[in-house]
Structure 1
Amino acid sequence: MNQAADTAPGFGVYLHWPFCAAKCPYCDFNSHVRHAAVDQPRFAAAFARELAAMRQRSGPRTVTSVFLGGGTPSLMAPATVAALLDAVARHWHLPGDAEITLEANPTSVEAERFRGYRAAGVNRVSLGVQALDDRALKTLGRLHDTAEALSAVRLARETFPRLSFDLIYARPGQTPEAWAAELETAIGHAADHLSLYQLTIEEGTPFHALHAAGRLAVPDGDAAAALYETTQAVTAAHGLPAYEISNHARPGAESRHNLVYWRYGEYVGAGPGAHGRFVAEGRRVVTVAERMPETWLNLVEARGHGVVDGERLTRGQEADEFLLMGLRLVEGIDLERHAALAGRPLAAERVAQLEDAGLVARLGNRRLRATPAGMIVLDAVVADLAR
């Protein structure tokens, strides 16, 4: 495969299932707990209607990836997953080798559905393990323990061609030595892909209230940086180097769907709170759906979609987003593509200053990437380049 094909962004479909069995105290995603049974056939029909509306705007495309995120998509019956994927295939070309990922919790109840999801067309699962330490799992509000999580990982490996799982680090009291040992265990089970996220205190979450009250202490900046450096060293030593700030994979096992985002490709979103970014009538448009599940459902049934916000991006906005997303990747950005979006090249003086500071580096004549030091302060690097 040539370099151009290797870095082609692709076209993705994101499906947001907003329901969870419990709300984790660190989570600010659009997720909702419902104690009554969710009417899955009714929601599946609404997804199909909203996808039809997105198809009218996007036009015909070949889908390279589908991602069922949430919330907790593994609370869906396999028949619901099959209905959603059938709707995608009705509206766009969905080839047999498209990556189809489903996020799942590693509880034994949800793991029992794995074979049904595989039969529905899912070929990659992303497990929300979050920690391999029972005390940490309790702090994080997870409903599984370590043994249950590793059992689910084993079953997922047997069921799906591809597997990833998530871990959260920079947890209260965590040391680099303990994190390195946890990573070693994870790599021994994960095989090809890990998503490793630093714990952040998000406004509006229970963790935010506890932190503000002095009842939750997280590692400071220096300690968090040491944990990040441990992450890079351990994963690289075991053949899972970072290909993005928080994502690590063996060569060829990268998440194709997430690469759509980071390479500034196009994607449509369906479901409560889902976002889309795709080109329609010559301009990149943003769509944002209603977040509350029942309100979204009523909107879709009344008018065919639940989109409540959106905009057409200017060339300058596109260029800034391209920088923000692309510099997260170890492969960096194509400078000619950025110049085409922005209408001008990056300022040579600012690039040179950041190179001298060791924060960015050129890859040949066409690409620019953030260095490991630049990744740690990426927001500042992007802000400097975008001026």
Structure 2
Amino acid sequence: MDEKAASVSKLPLPVAFLEFLARNGVDPSIYIAASQSTPRYIRLKPGCGTRITEIEEEVKCKVRKVSWLPNFYFLQPDVQIASTKAYQEGKIYGIDAASGAAVVALNVLPGDHILDLCAAPGAKLCMILDLIGCSGSVTGVDVARHRLAASRTMLRKYGLGDRCRLFVADGTIFSFIPPRVQSNFILGMDEESEIYKEWTHRRPCKERKRVAKARENASSQPFVKTQDPELIFYGSNSGVVGLRKSEVFRSVDDLEILQFGYDKLKLLTNGFRLLKVGGFLVYSTCSLTVAQNEDVVEQFLSQNLSAEMVEVEDATGWPCSPARIPKTLRFDPSTSFTSGLFIAKFTKLTIR
């Protein structure tokens, strides 16, 4: 047995997982690199670069800048940042560099309306909200309520929730466009419908009981795709305050989506449906298998004539490798010193 095979045999991985990797052509030794050399990454909120020396003193190690990713730094993998003053003040947060690259691939601009259809645990949401600044909005969707609640906690901790709304929903059927335009289309709306006031975690007793009962009923049943989305958070400038529930939770048609859908988003088939013409979609997964990446992209392109692959312009100089399909990228622990990540970027064309 050679040294590499011996190392693989000692990996603390379940046999079933090793068999899965073998079936999908993934070299298990990549997990050796992941466990031994992948550093701890952090992102500083813009304008907080002067805090580096303070952080180094607290964690007692060098904090080094990631040369290819703005505002990103890395530390030794075993360093804990939760006790640092900068973390407690919401000036830094942990996010893998590969995940940061997926956000950069979106080319987020102030004023964009962005949809993240797999938003938890929330680090990418924070980064996107940092980038849109004082205009635009972000809609985060996740099927797991407890994970999305953790995202809500992150947004509030870092003071980034003002232009964000969070829905517990199945991303494959989520069908709401940014509320910024909805009041233009409501005709004869239900006057009895609830009007959203400024969000607060301190809800009236009657409402808390209603939500708790609904949650209890939902938890006793398996999640089904027809289950109504639940809006669990919205910022004061997210476009929700002042709208009626019937305006936020209304059906939209394809023509409306083409004109007023999202500028940029993540996920794929349903995400592309909600993308407006000329918008951009980034499909990223933390999987290393071809079946969940290139095979999915090829099938998607064959079924969507208005979809076109585009280059990730910022990727020049990134420590990643080309994937099997031109214009797609792969990060992995041995090549990139990051977690594994696949990135593909699309735009929506007008079909004539």
- TM-score between the two structures when normalised by the length of structure 1: 0.27
More helix by share: 1
- TM-score between the two structures when normalised by the length of structure 2: 0.29
